[in-house]
Structures are given as C-alpha cells and as structure tokens.
Amino acid sequence: MGMETTRLFQRCLLLLLLLVGHCVLAQRPDSPAFSVVPLGVKGGLDEGNLSAYLVAASGSTSYVCLDAGSVYSGVEKAVARKVFTGSAGEVIRNNIKAYLISHAHLDHVAGLLLNATDDSPKSIYGLSDCLKTIQNDYFNWRTWPNFGSSGNPPALRKYQLQPLTPGQETALENTVLSVQTFVLSHGKPYQSAAFLIRSQNSYLLYLGDTGADAIEKAPQLRNLWQAIQPLVKAGQLKAIFIETSYANVQPPAQLFGHLTPALLMQEMAALSQLTGAAALRGLPVVITHIKPTAGNETAIKKQLTEANSLQMKLIFPEQGQLLQF
Amino acid sequence: MGMETTRLFQRCLLLLLLLVGHCVLAQRPDSPAFSVVPLGVKGGLDEGNLSAYLVAASGSTSYVCLDAGSVYSGVEKAVARKVFTGSAGEVIRNNIKAYLISHAHLDHVAGLLLNATDDSPKSIYGLSDCLKTIQNDYFNWRTWPNFGSSGNPPALRKYQLQPLTPGQETALENTVLSVQTFVLSHGKPYQSAAFLIRSQNSYLLYLGDTGADAIEKAPQLRNLWQAIQPLVKAGQLKAIFIETSYANVQPPAQLFGHLTPALLMQEMAALSQLTGAAALRGLPVVITHIKPTAGNETAIKKQLTEANSLQMKLIFPEQGQLLQF
C-alpha cells in the first residue's frame, strides 16, 4: 500500500468511526428502553379505570403489570387503540407475565382478582405483608376463590405469591426485566412499595400510593431518592411514575397517606438537591392516582404545571395509550 | 228534580262509574310498580360492568342498590342516558338509600367499597355471614379502610351493617320498600341470597348468584318458588332477576354454583308446576350475570330464547338503562 492510499484509508476509517460514534451518541437518548401501557390511571371511585400499568422492555411483548386496579377494561381500551391485537382475555393470559403489587388496597388489586378465573398461571410479586393480605383476605373463598397456593383449602395454585426483599434485585419471570423494591409509608402504619424496574442499563421507577416524608414523619422517600440519584445523574432513569391524589386544598390531616402537587414538588426538590436541578430537567414524571372528584383533575394539573420550576416533563397518562421511555 | 232529569243523572252516573271502572282495570296491569336501573350486568372480568341493580318504587327517586359490583361506572352511564341528572358522586350520595348484598364475593361488592370514601352514611343489608365477611375481610384497614361500625379500629361508622333474617319482612330505611330474604346455595358450602322486594302490593324478586337445586343437591330454589307462587298466580310479582352465568356447554362439575340456560329453564319449569304455566306467560325474567367470555353471551341468549316454551318475557338488561315493571 502506497503512502497516499494508507492516508486515504486512515481518513476513511476516522470518518467511519466518527459517524458510528455520532449515531450511537445521538441515538441513545432517543431510543426508548421501555414500553408502558396504562390500564387504569385514576385514584379511586371509577371501577373501570384504577391504577394498573403494563411495562415491558422496548420491542418485547412480555409485560409485567404494576398494580392491578383495573385490568380487563384497560386492555379493552388498549385493543381499541390498536396497542394489542386479540381479545382482552388473550392479552391478559399471554402478554401479562406477572403482577407486581405495591399494596393490597382494593383499588390496586381488584382487576387482578376479578380476572383470576380466566387468567393463565403466573407470579404475583410484592412485599410479604402485601402478599399475606392477598392470600388471607382475598384468596380465602369468602371474598374470592383461593387462587393462591396456601391458606383456606382448596388452594387452586394459579398464582405463585413471590415475596420481594427490599434492597435485593429480583429477576421477573418470563421477562428480561428485574426489580428492586423500596418500602413506602402510606398513612402510618400502612406500607406501600416502590418498584425500580431494570431493563439492561435502563431503569423505570414506579411508586405505589405514598405520603410525603414531612407528613408521614418517615424517611422512606428520602431513602428512595438517595438510592436512585446516581441513576438520575447518569441519565439511566427513564421515567418516574408517582401519585398525586389530592389538590393542594386537601387538609394535611385528611391526606390518608397521599400526595398533593405541593408535596410532590417538595419531594422532587429533595431529589434535585441530590442530583442537581439540571439532571431532572426533561425527566418524564408520570402523574398517577388522581382522584376523579369534581374539579380535582383540573386543579392538580394546573397546580403541578405552575409549580414545575424544575422543568420536568409532566405526563398525565390515558387508559390504553402506549407510552415509550 | 223531574223524571227526565233524574234518568239523565242516573245515566251519567252509570257512564261515569263504567269509565272509572274501565280506567282502574285498564291501568292496573300497565301502571308500573318499580323503576330499575342496572348499574352493572356482567358476571365477571369487566371491572366497570358488574352486578348492581338500582330499584325504587315507581315515581320515587329513593333507590336501593341490589348488589354493588360496579356503581360509579353504571351511574355515569345512567347519567349519560339522562336517567339521572347531576354528577355520579351526587347520585350515589343522594339517590342510593341503602345497599342489599346477596353475598360478599368481590364482583358483588367492589363498587360499594371503591365508592365508600365519597358515599353518604347509609345501611348495608345482608345475611349475617355476608356482613361478617364485609366487616372482617374488607373493612379491616388491610384491604380497605374500616367504613363499618365494628372490627379493626378505628371504625369510621359510615355504614350500618344490618343483618336480614330469612322469613322476616324488613323495612328498608329511607324508602317505601321492604324486603324478605331467602337463602340460596352458591357452590356448597357457600351461601348467597334472594331478595323479594315489596312496594305496596307489588313484588320484585332478585336472586344473587345461585346454583340449581339438582346440582347443589339442596332445596333452596324449591323453597323460594313455593314461597312466591301465590304472588305469581295473583299477578303481584312484577319481575324476576335471575342469573345465567354459563352456556349449556359448561360441564356440571365446573358450574361453581351458577346456572346455565337449561338449568334456569328447569327451575322455571319447577315454578310453573306450582303456579300453572299460564301464570308465567309474559312474566318479565331479567337475565343477570352472563360471563363475558368469547361467544358466551350470544350462546346464552340463543339457548334461553329457544328453550322459552313457557313464553316468559326474557330481558337482557343494559348498563344505565331505565326499566319499568
């Protein structure tokens, strides 16, 4: 090879490397890591639209269902929006590989229970207290047939109740996802949970019902922010799903372990002190569990938007709509 | 008064009497005794459309809610159909005066529970075993806040749990209605209930989930038919609400305390042997609790219609639609 040719070859190689590098860097923030389908988005009352969020690794049709207040009605909406093909029953049986339940309050499990008769066998993951309530108070033949694997006989053994240990990462069966679990305070002494879902190097954080540390007089959210702050700084956390049940008018004594726009922003400020404000700019924050009482939804959207000095990307999800993060 | 005038007066009086008599006789069968608004009609899966039926005396807006699988979603549909004015929350608080629960399975109580936070204080009537399950397994702060009046403290005392004694008539608070209760067998050893609602001299019979006597090996339906047969013969029973969960293809061992078209017609034949077939002709029979699995609804409608040699008036109710009986 002559000097000219070698120089030309080197230049081409450099150009190629630059191009590839540019593509990789340019694509990383745009290429989504997670597909999410909200099956229910409201914080109470409306039986057909209660907290439930399907999450899969992008490109995969193997979803886990984070909370399960409404399932069938949400899948029907998603099928109508062409997010899924087939009947609601088929999607529930084939595409939902496991449930992760933040706590056992009825508005977070009713959809799972009501569809258990026609579901395929799978696992229900949750903190051990949550699973104990599901087994003892629902799967007891008095309120519902025993689709669990212990308790009041006969146990139909449709579901494996798999306890999650805070601080440990657990692989989620039949998906490429894994989860790390955090305890939340939901009106002392009642517990809820946050799920940090991982797909390769990307993360999605879902919080079940939660009060603010200041109101709950508990350090649970501060601990959670501490744990996830490196992921926020590194751009690996793709979205936070967090509740805002009540508007700011709700008196502190009547929060029942829930957040308002002011309290949510107070918690986001606490997180930003750990990450720096710039790291939160543009971060998708999906607002869940708005209670559908008169004027509440409008008030919450207004109050959150006005208080969003951190410039997070606030998302108000719709039932059956595909989201990508 | 002259002879002519007296004769004219007598003729007018006779005409008047004939007219009044005709109106009374003509109006009796046509003038409805009950208004019914189905809030949910399906037998499972679809969280927003599960067994719940509002019943009031005709002309009254004071309803009782027979079972309460879906409440809010059904009231929203009824408001959309202009059966009620106001928000769903207002209708639930103001127009539902009490709940009558046939049994505590989740698909018959979820709507009541999920709306309890925003409901007005009222009574829940049911057999004592049913109320015990509602108090202990739902109103326990683990699955749901304690809106009852005993059990795990603090009891929020929103609902008075009022046990119904089979064979006794009980006046239903804040309505002109009263109820007589019958025990049903819903997959031994589990109980359900039938409610015979009375408004003046008219009756409406609502059965919660029930198996057939032949399958349950129990005399509950025969006893019920025996008790109501005089009302059927006298034309005082205005409608029967009864379930048909599965099509005839369902194997007897997998009925889980439910009816098929063949079993329903078998039970109606048992009733007709007590009343004579003519008494059932044209009687409104409202088919509840059809399970919304693929093809099931179509099959059940076809099988019932084809087997209706008694010529009852079969009604397949729709959510939020006003019915008059």
Q: Which among A69, A61, A64 has a CA at the least distance from the CA of A40?
A: A69
Of A45, A69, A133, the CB nearest to B142: A133
With beta carbons under 8 A apart, name residues in chain A contacting B104: 142-143
Determine the pLDDT at residue A10.
72
Residue whose tokens read 């967090």: A242
Q: How far apart are CA A238 and CA A228, in angstroms?
A: 11
Contact A47/B111, CB-based, under 8 Å? yes
Identify the CATH homologous superfamily for domain B33-317.
Ribonuclease Z/Hydroxyacylglutathione hydrolase-like (3.60.15.10)
pTM over 0.95: no
Q: Is residue B26 scored above 50 in pLDDT?
A: no
Contacts of B297 (CB under 8 A, 6+ apart): B290
Distance (Å) from the alpha carbon of A202 to chain B's nearest alpha carbon: 33
Q: How far apart are CA A196 and CA A207, in angstroms?
A: 9
A117, A158 Cβ separation under 8 angstroms = no
Cis check for the bond before A154: say yes or no (omega within 30 of 0).
yes
- Tell me the torsion sign for CA atoms A120, A126, A128, A131: negative
Residue whose tokens read 């679809």: B46
Give the single-character DSSP code of A144: B
Query: What is the phi/psi pair of residue A63, to 5°?
Result: -100, 150
B146, B158 Cβ separation under 8 angstroms = no
Of A49, A137, A145, the CB nearest to B140: A137
DSSP reduced 3-state for A171: strand
Contact B48/A49, CB-based, under 8 Å? yes
Q: How far is CA B51 from CA A44, A267, A306, B89, B208, in A?
A: 19, 41, 42, 19, 9
Determine the pLDDT at residue A266.
98
Q: Is residue B20 scored above 80 in pLDDT?
A: no
Contact A106/B144, CB-based, under 8 Å? yes
Q: What is the ipTM of this complex?
A: 0.91
With beta carbons under 8 A apart, name residues in chain A contacting B111: 47
Determine the Cα angle at A57 with ends A51 and A62, to 5°.
75
Determine the pLDDT at residue A23.
45
Determine the pLDDT at residue B17.
56
Distance (Å) from the alpha carbon of A189 to chain B's nearest alpha carbon: 10
Q: How far apart are CA B209 and CA B186, in angstroms?
A: 6
Contact B104/A142, CB-based, under 8 Å? yes
Phi-psi region of B99 (alpha: psi -120 to 50; beta: other; left: phi over 0): beta
Determine the pLDDT at residue B158.
98
Determine the pLDDT at residue B48.
98
Q: Which pLDDT tens digit goes with each residue over A214-257?
A: 999 999 999 999 999 999 999 999 999 999 999 999 999 999 99
A182, A224 Cβ separation under 8 angstroms = yes
Of B70, B114, B118, the CB nearest to A107: B114
Q: How far apart are CA B83 and CA B41, in angstroms?
A: 17
Q: Which among A105, A75, A101, A109 has a CA at the least distance from the CA of A90?
A: A75
Determine the pLDDT at residue A16.
60
Query: What is the phi/psi pair of residue A291, to 5°?
Result: -75, 130
Tell me if chain A has a CB within 8 Å of the CB of B88: yes
DSSP B111-144: HHHHHGGGPPSEEEEE-HHHHHHIIIIIBSSSSB
Determine the pLDDT at residue A71.
98
Contact A106/B143, CB-based, under 8 Å? yes
| Axis-axis angle for helices A220-233, A261-275 (nearest 10) | 50
Determine the pLDDT at residue B61.
97
Q: How far is CA B18 from CA A34, A195, B7, B29, B31, in A?
A: 79, 78, 16, 18, 19
Average pLDDT over residues B123-148: 98
Low-confidence ranges of chain A (pLDDT < 50): 22-28
Q: Which pLDDT tens digit goes with each residue over B233-248?
A: 999 999 999 999 999 9
B109, B89 Cβ separation under 8 angstroms = no
Tell me if chain B has a CB within 8 Å of the CB of A151: no
Tell me if chain A has a CB within 8 Å of the CB of B157: no
Determine the Cα angle at A317 with ends A311 and A318, to 5°.
150
Residue whose tokens read 């029907």: A76
A124, A134 Cβ separation under 8 angstroms = yes
Contact B45/A106, CB-based, under 8 Å? no
> What's the mean pLDDT when you consider all of chain B?
94
With beta carbons under 8 A apart, name residues in chain A contacting B245: none
Domain extents in chain A: 36-130+160-324
Distance (Å) from the alpha carbon of A205 to chain B's nearest alpha carbon: 24
Residue whose tokens read 């708005």: A290
Q: How far apart are CA B298 and CA B290, in angstroms?
A: 10
- In this prediction, what percent of chain B has a pLDDT beyond 70? 92
Q: Which among A199, A195, A193 has a CA at the least distance from the CA of A56?
A: A199
What are the structure tokens assigned to A258, written together?
Answer: 């829930």
Tell me if chain B has a CB within 8 Å of the CB of A37: no
Phi-psi region of A295 (alpha: psi -120 to 50; beta: other; left: phi over 0): left
- Choosing among B142, B190, B254, B291, which should be mutated to test the A contact, i.e. which has the most A CBs within 10 A? B142
Q: How far apart are CA B151 and CA B141, in angstroms?
A: 10
Q: Which among A227, A232, A178, A181 has a CA at the least distance from the CA of A55?
A: A178
Q: How far is CA A193 from CA A133, A152, A206, in A?
A: 14, 26, 9
With beta carbons under 8 A apart, name residues in chain B contacting A44: 114, 117-118
With beta carbons under 8 A apart, name residues in chain B contacting A69: 47
- Which class in CATH covers the domain with range A36-130+160-324? alpha beta
Contact A118/B45, CB-based, under 8 Å? yes
With beta carbons under 8 A apart, name residues in chain A contacting B137: 137-138, 140, 142-143
Distance (Å) from the alpha carbon of A48 to chain B's nearest alpha carbon: 4
